[in-house]
Structure 1
């Protein structure tokens, strides 16, 4: 309805603008007061109309869009060691940092699905055993050295070389990487491996800077602290305290990345523990952090400045039984009773405050939609007691169950080991009470979180272990349950050994037909659940707290927490209005 009026006003404004200075002088000298007032009122109306047009154009014809600018600070627990994607998987802080600084051939979108990154495209050939990548054109390192397939080949060969001690080495064994031309390369697998593309997300190193670094100097080189990558951000500044510990790192957008990041200054601050991170957020030193406990969410729930992102993460927590270290845990009926005695719903409500789901089997949230097993051990204390009674585990004078095995009286007693992470210590205490309610003596062994890998997991020094596993959105449970993975660096924490299960794990990871793959994993799952090498407990939510000033955080599913940064270039604080 404004269009006719706007058109008339625009014509009048155009006429007034066409008048010269002399025209205006002559006009004002020959006007009486009444005529002058009319002119001034007309000019005022014209100015008002012009302002109206500008406002109308700004608000009605334009829409908000991300703009460059602003700053974001995040708090992390720990300290960086090696800013090197070849080494980073062993340290959570390093994984976060290398995700910002380096890029791989592929990455994940906000829903966790793989998309091209440094590669422009990829093709899967040769019955799933050859992956051909075409690199984006025009990419170069800071010294203007072109990015080529040689950089990719160098990085992968370095990972495969045992002298460089990369934690990623097992993932690349048997893979041949060949250059096709200056933009294309091929990765050839000895056998089909359906989740292989996940490997191609590893950050790429510049060959011309790393080629002369010898294995004995690989951990010591300054390139691990002054990294050069093709990621979304580049390191701009490091701040240390008086003792030399790194307290913060500041980053600026990397002009060599193929998509410009919006946030102008990104700062990561490092703290000794989660309590310090929470305190830093309250003091407004940081704008975001990953929550370690639902209690933190409760504490911040009243804040109007924070937004919580509940992100799907394919991880679960379970109690893994080391049957080689305990006579009583070798008994299948004992493990069956223990499975029925755990009140998982109570863990979710009392400890996780509803921020999680009951875990019934070895597959948590995944992109394949592998569901729960048919065999589920529901919470039933009376059933658990009856199982033990029928299996001849009788309560003795000391109140503990015992049974004669191979001529010896064996007490139903074992040690449950976990870390000093507050959530796990509370879960361990809850499980301990559940099991003692059916006559099982459980002793807790709480190990510092920074020592559990070296002291407990790698040497398999435990009878029962409460710990977590991250399986991946495109799951491959081979490392966690295949018999060849019972010893370090394998992750078969239950030391599980079943030939039929091994065969299904081997077949499923090579199967490109999705229904067949899901069927084989379902069969594996049923075998596992009937043998009960572990009691599965829960899958917690991964909650990320970020200031509401930050827009564009759209991540919904990730393989690991560090992947929350894979699309940080789309986040923004500043905005501008652009035409619709």
Structure 2
């Protein structure tokens, strides 16, 4: 974990000496058991079982309650979790997992291979927004004994071993869900897992409490007695709570970035950088490609040219990220999947002239009031900064003759109207790209992911046969160089078509009180289990 303590002239400066000193001090201190960690996040989740939802706040809570088969180190290599070991057949079409013995669910029932079989095939693959991407070629799962599962694949599938964490494929109890309507089962919001913390209480509009799992299979962990997730409506109140020491950790988006920069200068508060490498988050606008005016590629491109990504990054998000060039984040550059070559660039000097020309060509002439068309922008219900960005977008698009009405909906309404009913023109949001583009990015533009029953999928309803073929080729190609070529072509096509407008690669940093130790210990950060986290008493 790096602790950032300075911000001058809009440029981050890393206080290396301080970070090394603090890290050395933490390394020498033995973890202390006990205590409560208070986290503030927003918005309050609709459900807290992430097998059925990929909503960010759902994931933040659920990954403490549920385990996955695997975890990952900072180089994104797999590590054991509920699976102690695994073996991949030479043809890549069979993966055998040996499961950990002696694990029990929070209700005391034993964890077995039947739970894995049920979770992956009946719940995650069918109901999780990224389930098809994670488990698409898995045709069946055998359970030859209580502690062995064998995944049978239609073809070798490189992304599979990168998507088996508690974030992506949580293992849920078969004995609780089998034979029920999963999404309406009471356990969705009173969950039973095998994870380090047990669900205790949900006081709607106020907090969710998790308690230490005394029978957790990681001996001696977790260190904390309780986790409290507080839901506070006002950003300034959240910031004040951090400053007064009432809140230990504030997740990204809960506090205005300008306030984050102020708070990090205080002696007892730091910004915990990292812990998002495995999720490669990107901020974007989603455009309804089935509704005018965004059924015309020229209009979509005009919007992309009209927005200044550098301004958005520096002046709205205060440098917590960098401008995006396309759907795939540079976080995965090491795999070869990312490229910024051959991609249409929107940050050119004459971008407004190009935008106006494209709108003219699309037949959207300026009226007497200077406007060409009117759209409704549904602002992401993730906090005040998203509304600030909405105001900027309204001003920026007005310059090229697009009148924007801003609509702010509460989170459940936003999901229902946008993701289930497709009743929108343009939305703002952010998305988890994951360690492999197939796992997180594919769902946004693969036509087979147009599904109103699954939120946070292909909400733009974008369909392009050439794009589909490339996504499907990348699923089956095992040669990384050839896979990268498919991803590079996808980026070229998608940026040119602009069914979404990718704005910023996000640094999902958390604000923390310095009494909190070992907050970021995995590439999932605060979205991990927090079983290593402790607080100085």
Q: How does 1:32-181 map to 2 (within 5 A)?
A: 64-77=29-42, 79=44, 84-87=49-52, 89=53, 92-110=56-74, 112-125=76-89, 127-141=91-105, 146-159=110-123, 170=132, 172=135, 175-181=139-145
Q: 1:447 aligns with which of 402, 406, 409?
A: 409
> Which position in structure 1 is the counterpart of 2:220?
260
- Closer, same or farther in 2 for the Cα pair 1:355/1:172, shift >3 Å? closer
- Any idea what SS the aligned residue of 2:315 has? helix
- Any idea what SS the aligned residue of 1:251 has? strand
Instruction: Decide whether the 8 Å contact of 2:43 with 2:411 is kept in 1.
Output: no
- Any idea what SS the aligned residue of 1:451 has? helix
Instruction: Decide whether the 8 Å contact of 1:316 with 1:540 is kept in 2.
Output: yes
Instruction: Decide whether the 8 Å contact of 2:67 with 2:194 is kept in 1.
Output: yes
> Which position in structure 1 is the counterpart of 2:368?
398
TM-score w.r.t. the length of structure 2 is: 0.80
> Which position in structure 2 is the counterpart of 1:335?
300
In the alignment, does 2:466 pair up with 1:504? no
Q: How does 1:376-455 map to 2 (within 5 A)?
A: 376-380=344-348, 382-385=350-353, 388-389=356-357, 392=361, 396=366, 398-400=368-370, 411-420=372-381, 421-455=383-417
Gaps of 5+ in 2: 1-26
Q: How does 1:354-373 map to 2 (within 5 A)?
A: 354-367=319-332, 368-369=335-336, 370-373=338-341
Gaps of 5+ in 1: 1-61, 402-410, 576-580
Instruction: Decide whether the 8 Å contact of 2:302 with 2:355 is kept in 1.
Output: yes
Query: How much has 1:81 moved relative to structure 2?
Result: 6.1
Query: How much has 1:77 moved relative to structure 2?
Result: 3.5
Q: 1:285 aligns with which of 234, 237, 246?
A: 246
- Closer, same or farther in 2 for the Cα pair 1:429/1:356, shift >3 Å? same
Mapped to 2, the partners of 1:188 and 1:239 lie a distance apart of 39
Query: How much has 1:132 moved relative to structure 2?
Result: 1.0
Instruction: Decide whether the 8 Å contact of 1:340 with 1:381 is kept in 2.
Output: no
Mapped to 1, the partners of 2:218 and 2:375 lie a distance apart of 55
> Which position in structure 2 is the counterpart of 1:459?
421
**Residue deviations 1:204-223 (CA, integer Å, cap 9, x gap):** 3344x427x641587354x5
Q: How does 1:190-201 map to 2 (within 5 A)?
A: 190-201=154-165
> Which position in structure 1 is the counterpart of 2:535?
573
- Any idea what SS the aligned residue of 2:412 has? coil
- Closer, same or farther in 2 for the Cα pair 1:366/1:303, shift >3 Å? same
- Closer, same or farther in 2 for the Cα pair 1:146/1:324, shift >3 Å? closer
Mapped to 2, the partners of 1:218 and 1:465 lie a distance apart of 25
**Residue deviations 1:449-481 (CA, integer Å, cap 9, x gap):** 332111123222222333322221222132111
- Closer, same or farther in 2 for the Cα pair 1:510/1:258, shift >3 Å? same
How many residues are matched? 490
> Which position in structure 1 is the counterpart of 2:447?
483
Mapped to 1, the partners of 2:369 and 2:80 lie a distance apart of 62
> Which position in structure 1 is the counterpart of 2:10?
none
> Which position in structure 2 is the counterpart of 1:564?
526
Mapped to 2, the partners of 1:545 and 1:233 lie a distance apart of 22
> Which position in structure 1 is the counterpart of 2:180?
215
Mapped to 2, the partners of 1:397 and 1:63 lie a distance apart of 69
Mapped to 2, the partners of 1:123 and 1:256 lie a distance apart of 26
Mapped to 2, the partners of 1:84 and 1:160 lie a distance apart of 11
> Which position in structure 1 is the counterpart of 2:503?
537
Q: 1:203 aligns with which of 159, 170, 181?
A: 170
Instruction: Decide whether the 8 Å contact of 1:253 with 1:264 is kept in 2.
Output: no
Instruction: Decide whether the 8 Å contact of 1:231 with 1:254 is kept in 2.
Output: no
In the alignment, does 2:340 pair up with 1:375? no
- Closer, same or farther in 2 for the Cα pair 1:554/1:110, shift >3 Å? farther
Name which one, 1 or 2, has greater alpha-carbon Rg.
Answer: 1
- Any idea what SS the aligned residue of 1:179 has? strand
Q: 1:307 aligns with which of 263, 270, 278?
A: 270
In the alignment, does 2:309 pair up with 1:347? no
- Any idea what SS the aligned residue of 1:260 has? coil
**Residue deviations 1:486-512 (CA, integer Å, cap 9, x gap):** 342372233322211111100102222
- Any idea what SS the aligned residue of 1:450 has? helix
- Closer, same or farther in 2 for the Cα pair 1:351/1:84, shift >3 Å? closer
Query: How much has 1:145 moved relative to structure 2?
Result: 5.2
- Any idea what SS the aligned residue of 2:145 has? coil
Mapped to 2, the partners of 1:567 and 1:252 lie a distance apart of 12
> Which position in structure 2 is the counterpart of 1:8?
none
In the alignment, does 2:426 pair up with 1:469? no
- Output the aligned Cα RMSD: 3.3
